[in-house]
Structure 1
Amino acid sequence: MTDLLELTRKLTAIRAVSGNEGAVAEEILKLAAPYADECYTDILGNLVVHRRGEGKKLLFAAHMDSIGLIATYIEKEGFVRFGKVGGIFPAETINTPVVFQNGVRGVVCKEEKADLQKLAVEDLFVDIGAKDEEDARGKIRVGDTAVFASETYLAGDRLVSPYLDDRIGCIVLLLALERIGKTQNDLYFVFTSQEEVGLRGAKTAAFAIDPDYAFAVDVTDIGDVPGVKVKNHCSLGKGAAIKIMDSSFIAHPKAVELLERAAGAQEIPVQRDVIQAGGTDSGAIHVSREGVPCGGISIPTRYIHSPNEMADPGDIEACVRLVAAAAMLEPQ
């Protein structure tokens, strides 16, 4: 595979708003297929990569979809009103370049009268450079989706990009697949759909696979920037984060123990992840069927759901090592 920066550029450049993950699934399939016994896509668009084994069934999930904008109305002047797909923060999108699924570009703007302190999506619009409504309708239809068109680059040693949430989780799974050696575990690496709008793909995938253990690989918020109101233990540069709790689930003690045992055996730097807001695919998986012992491997990330998210390559590498180590470790 290409290096981390180039792989991130490749996957984040693919437009895959929730419910439209097909293009990114195709690219991930190309990268994952050489390391799998079988790959398939289910009805909801989840990509399942299976490494057969005779032991316990372990599921590792990272979501392919992203937040985005969806065109809802076109003004007579040609400006495009939009709604949000997933968690869009209005104040963080002002003057941000976006690109629609068909390649049409524009910039998010706010109404002149809008109060920045009370800004809502309804106060925003996308200017695609249209002359009028007729011109705009020749380029954009109601229901078309758009994503942030920010750059992927290194700031010092840190990786900055839109949609590290959760293309970086997908990359962690892909790189771990390369490193997994012989194991009795029956491994399912699931690249899920529609996480940002309600953990929907993970719900159906978990029901079908019925794993013995499952782990969501996703970004997590940090507490190492100025002015944080609620302190968070996670920081950039201190390793992979083992999920203890978020708003969607409480990690199962056996899942936490397996990850901590894997980290200890391989001397992988780890920190503990407890957040009060936000969730992961484990929120849906842990209540599948009769219940699944679930944990999480989290990539500490700054500025989540903004056009410019930031992560540390060393933490990403630690997450890759932890996924590979946990995948080869037999649960007790």
Structure 2
Amino acid sequence: MLAAHMDEIGLMVSHVNEKGFARFTALGGVWPDTLIGNRALFTNGALGVINVENWPRHDEVDRSHKTLYLDFGATSKADVPVRVGDVAAFQRPFVDLGQVMVAKSLDDRIGCAILIETLKQLDQTPHEVHFVFTVQEEVGTRGATTAAYKVHPDVSIAIDVTDSGDVPERKHFEVKLGAGPAIKVMDSGMLAHPGLRNWMAETAQANDIPYQMEILTLGSTDARAMQLAREGSAAGALSIPCRHIHTPSEMVSTNDVENAVKLLLALLKSPANLGD
């Protein structure tokens, strides 16, 4: 079972006041500091600007979700184009910078793109493979939980992003952009199956595919849910290094994405070797 999640972090309206401003709660891990001045686009087409109380004296206020609000340009509650419970995503365009791509929701649209490209190029495999596009990963790996129960896989691999340690003042994290996809060793929700981890690394080496080893101390992926489904499965993850993760402007390397597809194809075309 190969899984990538279709959902993304976002916002949900929790209150609308009489002056026409809306409060919201976060869907997934949304960092308040990244939201000020950004735009939220709702499913009905409404657009709101996010700001914080007492702006621009932002150094004197509590920058948390409870102090943020949405401005629709409305003058009263009746003019607000959204209601409590309505959901929004961030509005940011995709930009191709050559060696890297920048966009919102690369977590985990890039994983979905990798699975689609792998499926397009896969001509034969000795395995029964299920390509699964899950939902509600950002709020608790819920889609993967039910999907893995249904599929009942022997081997499970999540395709997702991971944090990057190659930005200023970021220490003690080895993964970086452009050095290849990362094979997960562990994260805060799971320990990858050692046999699967070794098979992935050995396959990369045999096919001259660059790769990295990932230890993530904050966050997890669908692999956690797949590992625990029914009696369990041999689970791991192939991660794409991502800068500015869980912000409206995430960044990944084109080469890392292409090499992730190559590694998945090599794995799917060879017999599984998970050791004893």
Which TM bucket (shorter chain)?
A: over 0.9
Q: What residue is the counterpart of 1:206 in the other structure?
A: 148
> Are 1:98 and 1:107, in contact at CA under 8 Å, matched by a contact in 2?
yes
Identity of aligned residues (%): 41
Correspondence for 2:73: 129
Q: Is the 8 A contact 2:126 2:268 kept in 1?
A: no
Aligned residues of 1:182 and 1:328 also touching (Cα < 8 A): yes
CA shift for structure 1 position 150: 0.9
Structure 1 position 238 matched with structure 2 position 182 = no
User: Which among 63, 69, 77 is matched to residue 19 of structure 2?
Assistant: 77
Q: Which runs of 5+ in 1 are unaligned?
A: 1-58
1:114 Cα deviation from its structure 2 partner:
5.9
Rounded Cα–Cα distance in structure 2 between residues aligned with 1:193 and 1:213: 20
Which aligned pairs between 1:34-113 and structure 2 lie closer than 5 A?
A: 59-112=1-54
Which whole-Å CA distance do the structure 1 matches of 2:59 and 2:138 have between them?
27
Aligned mates of 1:283, 1:107 — CA distance in 2 = 35
**Residue 174 (str. 1) matches residue 116 (str. 2):** yes
Q: Which residue of 2 aligns with 1:259?
A: 200
| Aligned residue pair count | 271
Query: TM-score, structure 1 length as denominator?
Result: 0.79
Task: For residue 314 of structure 1, give the secondary structure of its aligned residue in structure 2.
Answer: helix
Does the 8 A contact of 1:71 with 1:145 survive in 2? Answer: yes
The letter for the 1-side match of 2:197 is: V
8 Å Cα contact 1:240/1:298 also seen in 2: yes
Pick from 132, 139, 142 the counterpart of residue 84 of structure 2: 142
Assess if the C-alpha contact under 8 Å between 2:13 and 2:84 holds in 1: yes
Give the aligned CA root-mean-square deviation in angstroms.
Answer: 1.3
Q: Given residue 19 of structure 2, which amino acid in structure 1 is its aligned partner?
A: E
1:292 has 2:233 as partner: yes
**Quick one: distance in 2 between partners of 1:204 and 1:258?**
27
Q: Which amino acid aligns with 1:312?
A: S
Q: For 1:305, which of 231, 235, 246 is the aligned residue?
A: 246
Corresponding residue to 1:192 among 134, 137, 158: 134
Shift of 1:304: 0.5
Whether the 8 Å contact between 1:114 and 1:123 is mirrored in structure 2 is no
State the 1:265 CA deviation: 2.5
| Counterparts in 2 of 1:111 and 1:117: CA distance versus 1, 3 Å | closer
Q: In structure 2, the residue corresponding to 1:207 is in which secondary structure?
A: helix
Match of 1:187, SS state, is coil
Q: 1:225 aligns with which of 153, 167, 170?
A: 167
Task: State how far apart, in whole Å, the 2-side matches of 1:109 and 1:184 are.
Answer: 53
**Aligned 8 A contact 2:53 2:61 in 1:** no
Q: Which runs of 4 or more aligned residues in structure 1 lie more than 2 Å from their structure 2 counterparts after TM superposition?
A: 113-118, 154-157
